[in-house]
Amino acid sequence: MLDSIDMSLVDWSRGQFALTAMFHWIFVPLTLGLSFIVAFMHTIYVRTGDEEWKRITKFWMKLFGINFAIGVATGIILEFEFGTNWSNYSWFVGDIFGAPLAIEGILAFFLESTFIAVMFFGWNKVSKRFHLTASWLTAFGASLSAVWILVANAWMQHPVGTVFNPDMARNEMINFWDVIFSEVAVNKFLHTIGSSFLLASIFVIGVSAYFLLRKKEVLFAKRSTVIASVFGVMAAIGTIATGDTSARIVAREQPMKFAAMEALYEGQTHAPLVAIGAMRTDTTRFPHPREEFIFKIEIPNALSYMVFLTPSGFIPGISDLVYGNEEHNYMSYEERIERGAVAIQTLKELKKAKERGDQVSYEALREKFSDPIWIDQYYQHFGFGYYKGRELRELIPNVKVNFYSFHVMVILGGHFLIFTMLVLWLSLKNRWGNHKWLLWVAMITLPMPWIASQAGWVLAEMGRQPWVVYELMPNITAVTRLKPAAVQITFWIFLLTFTLLFIAEIRIMLSQIKKGPEGE
């Protein structure tokens, strides 16, 4: 139904948005996590009056500020792209997607930007308690900002609390609370915030290890490590727990993503979990090549148990979802495409009836979009209708990307839990810094949370492909009809700009770290 779409336009638009989002996400998790660590250190200073805690607070506050400033710059560009590159998407979901973004800008961002000035410049200018309050409000403002962004993204993954308006051809919100407190939104927020705390904790531990290796600022480094390791252990446990819950939600709400995460093609009960593996593409399976394992290590029954808490649970594979499985009540994609095409055609006929003034036909057609049975049978497959006449494999996400992203994230998550627990134990025993090899491990570990965090977002977004709004709007209908060359030019401009910003961030951060807490 969309044979005329220029797929290079879709690919470049996706690439530009991915570039912007991934660069932005380099800065966001450190901002979220470090803000609370700084606020906690600031609290200790106010309660104890110990000047060493003031030095510690000001040092980490400085690194937070550098990261915050550059993160804001990339975030502004990200929001503009919804209008420039994805205007059809913005129209289709603007009533829902726009509301959280507006609240984020009006409430959270202003709260954050107002009190951050007091946080940085309030030393000896306002009372200690008001200054401390500004630090905590800045931290809460950062998290509040993340809430609304994650709510908007969660709705794209699992659209709830809305109704389709056929007259306007767009979705409209009918229950604000369903959108905010959907299971997907709550879990996504908790998992993202937990992983951000974990990232910031490992950042503080890694930088502190640098000082201990150089035998500089030993008291500063040990105190910073104690705070960071406590945060780190709690955040690691929380991140793993919410990640486990997230997997069950994905298995239920986005079974294709879940199947791609494990490269599971044939559904089964007693499904094993692939702990580690490597794949190659088997091109002999025409017309649908699939990924085959070169080797893999499996945990028997673990996948079924993870989802259903029983090994006998049936996990659908990619083939079950594409070609259908009557025994387990999975409709084939071909059937869903036909039903979606009916919904699209009904919408077109409604528009024509309205244009020619045929009120009887218009009312009859419009009534279908408010009939729960018709919605269940046809409208819920709306997005599939755009794939009529196209290849079914376009509806299968990239299995390799999803498999490796998921497993990198999980393996690193396990490492972070063991690492932070070990650091906390040694810190409490006052033996942190006595083992040079462990300090090097801390520095090597420092960039790993960014790898895990990026892998998590790659999985979240690539796993729901080709959908912008899950099963309602594919990316081939969401893009603005631009010339691909225009998107390519801005892609390279953004790449250059973001690279320069990233280099600037690294250089400034390294410069401040080398100066240490004395380099005020």
Give every CB contact of residue 291 below 8 A, 6+ residues apart in sequence.
Answer: 263, 279, 280, 281, 282, 399, 400, 403
Tens of pLDDT, residue by residue over 412-429, are: 999 999 999 999 999 998
User: What is the structure's pLDDT at 94?
Assistant: 72
Q: Which H helix or E strand runs over 294? A: strand 290-299
Q: How confident is the model at residue 434 (pLDDT cuts 50, 70, 90)?
A: confident
Query: Average pLDDT of 292-309?
Result: 89
User: What is the structure's pLDDT at 104?
Assistant: 72
Q: Which H helix or E strand runs over 279? A: strand 273-282
Instruction: Say how many CA atoms lie within 13 Å of 459 toward its Cβ.
Output: 28
Q: Is the pLDDT of residue 141 over 90?
A: no
The percentage of the chain sitting over the pLDDT mark of 90, rounded to a whole number, equals: 57
User: What is the structure's pLDDT at 287?
Assistant: 62
Q: How confident is the model at residue 89 (pLDDT cuts 50, 70, 90)?
A: confident
Q: How confident is the model at residue 210 (pLDDT cuts 50, 70, 90)?
A: very high
| CB-CB contact of 452 with 240 (8 Å) | no
User: What is the structure's pLDDT at 286?
Assistant: 53
CA distance 367 to 360: 11
Q: Which of 193, 192, 188, 199 is nearest to 232 (CA)?
A: 199
CA distance 469 to 386: 13
DSSP string spanning 69-106? HHHHHHHHHHHHHHHHT-HHHHHHHHHHHHHHHHHIII
CA distance 97 to 326: 36
Q: Which residue in the block uniquely carries the two structure tokens 């308006």?
A: 165
CA distance 154 to 145: 15
| CB-CB contact of 438 with 240 (8 Å) | no
User: What is the structure's pLDDT at 2?
Assistant: 55
More confident residue, 265 or 84: 265
Query: Average pLDDT of 15-42?
Result: 92
User: What is the structure's pLDDT at 167?
Assistant: 87
Tens of pLDDT, residue by residue over 353-410, are: 988 888 999 899 999 998 999 999 999 999 999 999 888 889 999 999 999 999 999 9
User: What is the phi/psi pair of residue 226, to 5°?
Assistant: -60, -50
Q: What is the pTM of this model?
A: 0.90
Q: How confident is the model at residue 519 (pLDDT cuts 50, 70, 90)?
A: very low
User: What is the structure's pLDDT at 482?
Assistant: 84
Tens of pLDDT, residue by residue over 439-484, are: 999 999 999 999 999 999 999 999 999 999 999 999 999 888 888 8
* Rg of the chain taking only CA atoms, in angstroms: 25
Per-domain residue ranges of the chain: 7-254+398-462+464-518, 268-315
Q: Is the pLDDT of residue 306 over 90?
A: no
Q: Percentage helix, strand, coil, to 5, in the chain?
A: 75, 5, 20
